[in-house]
Amino acid sequence: MTDRTAGRVPAPDPYDNRRQVLYWRLLARLFDPEEQAALESASLAVVEDLGLPPALLDPQASVDSVVQRHPELAAEFDGLMAPEPEEDGARDRAAEVRRAALASKVLLNVFASRSGTVTAEQLARWQSDAGWLERALGCRPGELRGGRGGAPRAGAGGGVSPTGTGVGGPTPDLSRLIPEIGPELGSIEAGLVQRMHLREVLADPRLASRLTPSMSLIEQLLRDKNNLSGVALANAKALIRRYVDEVTEVLRTQVEKATVGELDRSVPPKRVFRNLDLDRTVWKNLTNWDPEEERLYVDRLYYRHTGRRTTPQRLIVVVDQSGSMVDSMVNCTILASIFAGLPKVDVHLIAYDTQALDLTPWAHDPFETLLRTKLGGGTDGTVAMALAQPKIAEPRNTVVVWISDFYEWRTHELFESMAAVHRSGAKFIPVGSVTSSGRGSVNPWFREKFKDLGTPVISGHIKKLVHELKTFLT
């Protein structure tokens, strides 16, 4: 190597340069809505060279509108930003630049700062774009924001494009990549809802029809329901009902998938096709095989036992209805109604702040239950315990689910009564946060006390609570 070549700087990689242009433009737009001419023109050149539509650079164009005009892009957005296993071999540098252009579009539409009053149309567009971001991360629309999290259906909300159906397969574990993305999306959505003139929107059926129900919107509706009347109240109830029905459908599926309980072989199996035990039927009739005709004659059909042994159980759900627990309250109220429909399960529902309310007569209908709740105020769990304890008639057949952040006025008194319930033989399940993916704050003093008691706080995905309850109740 000569002295002339020893200090030579390697030539810049054109693919890296293109990606950097796109990402620098994204950062500039996120922190300053004003255009920077050099970045805009360079990004346009990159996008056109890739054969992508210039609309990708228009911050006013939703992802839905881009995909409707260019339906071939729908498949590229699905799983666009999901972690992929490392593969040996040469990298497709051009494909990396293309993914950077598409990812920049989704990120800009979702995270760009907004100011001023938000219209129903703007909220719906943001929800749609957020749904595309969730799909790009390998999830279903609404899943990371703590919403329905189910497979999209025709006509359903959640920002599902008519040109795409969402990502199939199991939800990826994104915790190591972007652990706070779900709560941040929920926070942005909540901010948009708060900046709406919601009462005016609800009073106009045309505008109200553009609203897509979400946890943030439901929270605002529940807080303001006593100030609504006439058309506005009817539209608010319709949105709450629609959201409740969609979440109920998802949770009911999760409950049905959790198969627990011993098979009861004393109950004859139902003689229906879905219970046919084909392998056993063939095995038991092998003596009827005719080698000349090469045909098996079946004298008897055998069916699988599907009935399970169950004993009467009582489920007592106590819900903190303070503002910080709205997400958990909605999910667990719906979950209680699902278990109320199971045979031999006696469900009782109590909501509390500084006063307690027995909602058991409406436990089967989460919509009516939510309309009777009152969000906000302080928390005094001792008043709820005074209602719950007399309901524990047979401790061994009783489970008490207590949903709260456990920031209480009478801390020691409440914990001692909870410990007494646990020592009586009842199953006591403290729940800190039961959402699709949200974050919750639990009083650390209570968290440690429950851990020492042997009843650790359940926080995180609602599937954890579904599994716990199904295991005990059936």
208-222: per-residue pLDDT in tens?
Answer: 888 888 878 887 888
pLDDT at 10: 59
Confidence of residue 155 (pLDDT cuts 50, 70, 90): very low
pLDDT at 308: 54
Whether residue 30 is predicted with pLDDT greater than 70 in this model: the reply is yes
pLDDT at 1: 47
pLDDT at 22: 92
pLDDT at 414: 94
Residue 113 lies in a domain: yes
Q: What is the average per-residue pLDDT within 256-277? A: 63
Shared domain for 298 and 317, answered yes or no, is: no
Q: pLDDT higher for 414 or 326?
A: 414
- C-alpha span between 119 and 230 (Å, rounded): 21
pLDDT at 107: 92
In the predicted model, what is the mean pLDDT of the chain?
79
Confidence of residue 428 (pLDDT cuts 50, 70, 90): very high
For every residue of 101-123, which 3-state class applies, written as one string? HHHHHHHHHHHCCCCCCECHHHH
pLDDT at 89: 59
Q: Domain limits at 124? A: 14-80+92-147+176-247
| Other CB atoms within 10 Å distance of the CB of residue 243 | 24
Q: What is the per-residue DSSP string for 433-470?
A: EEESS------HHHHHHHHHHT-PPEEEEHHHHHHHHH
pLDDT at 438: 47
Two tokens at 107? 């990120």
Shared domain for 37 and 76, answered yes or no, is: yes
Shared domain for 317 and 295, answered yes or no, is: no
Whether residue 144 is predicted with pLDDT greater than 80 in this model: the reply is no
* Helical (H) or strand (E) element with 346: strand 345-352
pLDDT at 289: 87
Shared domain for 304 and 336, answered yes or no, is: no
**Structural domains of the chain, count:** 3
Whether residue 146 is predicted with pLDDT greater than 70 in this model: the reply is no
Confidence of residue 259 (pLDDT cuts 50, 70, 90): very low
Residue 403 lies in a domain: yes
Q: pLDDT higher for 5 or 89?
A: 89
Nearest 5 degrees, angle CA 36-CA 38-CA 39? 70
Shared domain for 212 and 277, answered yes or no, is: no
93: Cβ–Cβ under 8 A, 6 or more apart, which residues?
13, 15
CATH of the domain at 458: 3.40.50.410
Residue 85 lies in a domain: no
Shared domain for 362 and 416, answered yes or no, is: yes
Shared domain for 207 and 226, answered yes or no, is: yes
Q: What is the average per-residue pLDDT within 31-35? A: 78
Shared domain for 211 and 350, answered yes or no, is: no
Shared domain for 281 and 232, answered yes or no, is: no
Residue 169 lies in a domain: no
157-205: per-residue pLDDT in tens?
Answer: 333 333 334 444 445 555 544 446 777 887 788 888 888 888 888 998 9
Q: What is the average per-residue pLDDT within 48-57? A: 90
Shared domain for 131 and 181, answered yes or no, is: yes
Residue 170 lies in a domain: no
Residue 224 lies in a domain: yes
- C-alpha span between 300 and 389 (Å, rounded): 54
Q: Cα(first)–Cα(last) distance of the chain, in Å?
A: 78
Confidence of residue 11 (pLDDT cuts 50, 70, 90): low
Shared domain for 189 and 68, answered yes or no, is: yes
The full length of the chain comes to 474
219-255: per-residue pLDDT in tens?
Answer: 788 878 888 889 999 999 999 888 888 878 777 776 6
Confidence of residue 6 (pLDDT cuts 50, 70, 90): low
Q: What is the average per-residue pLDDT within 332-360? A: 83
Residue 324 lies in a domain: yes
Shared domain for 288 and 331, answered yes or no, is: no
Q: What is the average per-residue pLDDT within 148-163? A: 36
Q: pLDDT higher for 151 or 311?
A: 311
Residue 133 lies in a domain: yes
